[in-house]
Amino acid sequence: MKNDLVVAIAGVTGAVGAEFIATMDRRRFPVGKLKALASARSAGKTVDFRGERIVIEELTERSFDGVDIALFSAGGGISRKFSPAAVKAGAVVIDNSSAFRMDPDVPLVIPEINAHRIREHKGIIAVPNCSAITALVPLWPIHRVNRIKRLILSTYQAASGAGAAAMAELVESTRASLNGEAYPPKVMPHPYAFNLFSHNTAIDPETGYNDEETKVIKETRKIFEDERIAIGVTCVRVPVLRAHCEAITFECERPISEHEVRAILSTAPGVRIVDDRAKNYFPMPVDASGQDDVLVGRIRKDLSDTSGHSISMFVSADQLLKGAALNAIQIAELLPERAIA
């Protein structure tokens, strides 16, 4: 990889944009020049990167001349509009939105699972949905040993998944509630403080599943390259600032024990076991926040399956890091030099 890459961040003022900057700095990603891109209303403001004050430029189709890697996290509409211009200018786009995830010509990559797909890109590489990443990083090493044929997920998703404005609303509405003040929701569809609700994406009237749940189902099958997996998902927004949690039950083709699962996960990349029954200490958002690994615990036999094929567990991961920015930077680190020369 070149040591003087020109990297553009589209959506630099958002929560994930800030994590792109921090993650590149922390991992010493070889940036020669950073282009900070955002909407016209943010143009002229600045962001700091490695001791430099970078002036934010308005995102346009001309923003990508000379850019090697373009990191997008500004929503699907922005990605669809500007990614083709970035690719045409010679950049490799790593997109954090849902715009291209199910495009058969776009690799959908979690480096711990399918890094080999990176070399197949045609200019765009997609970062999966944060809930999918959180579940699949620990499920993949199990799936490789003993195929998972059925998967049930319930998510507890943080405000960070809806962006900086949702995080601010959670803080402000909680403060107002504690002070006995009314706080009409502006970003979320329902009161957020001391409340939880079905994930704030559109519900399919036919299936009753929301968009977030459908994404997890489709993306899991694409990443695992297995259309036969039976998947049920319930996605819920909870009043946590960052770090998603998920309750997972999976059924394997052959019998599997909790001891086997522990042994597999103990050496799995990107996974850290947090599973202390004696102290009732398991994965929590407070511990996952700011961490790169997916925390996994509550590993136990699913007592509803007397065949011994099923395991239940609980996981937590930082939505802004492994669920978004970190996964994108890991992809960038694995790009072959010829792809960004």
Task: Report how far residue 47's alpha carbon sits from residue 57's, in angstroms, rounded to the nearest whole number.
Answer: 11
Coil vs helix vs strand at 140: helix
- Asked whether 32 and 68 are in contact (CB, 8 A), the reply is no
Neighbours of 326 (CB within 10 A): 26
Structure tokens that stand for 41 in this block: 């209303």
Least Cα distance to 72 among 81, 88, 83 occurs for 83
Q: Where are the alpha helices (DSSP H) in 184-337?
A: 211-224, 258-265, 285-288, 326-333
DSSP string, 110-133: -HHHHGGGGGG-SSEEEPPPHHHH
Out of 130, 235, 245, 252, pick the active-site residue: 130
Q: How far apart are CA 131 and CA 98, in angstroms?
A: 12
Q: Which of 143, 199, 244, 309 is catalytic?
A: 244
d(CA 321, CA 327): 7
For the chain, helix, strand, coil in percent to 5 are 35, 25, 40
Catalytic annotation on 130? yes
- Does the annotation mark 235 as catalytic? no
134, 256, 155: which is closest to 200 by C-alpha? 155
d(CA 153, CA 139): 12
Per the document, the length of the chain is 341
| Active-site residue set | 130, 244
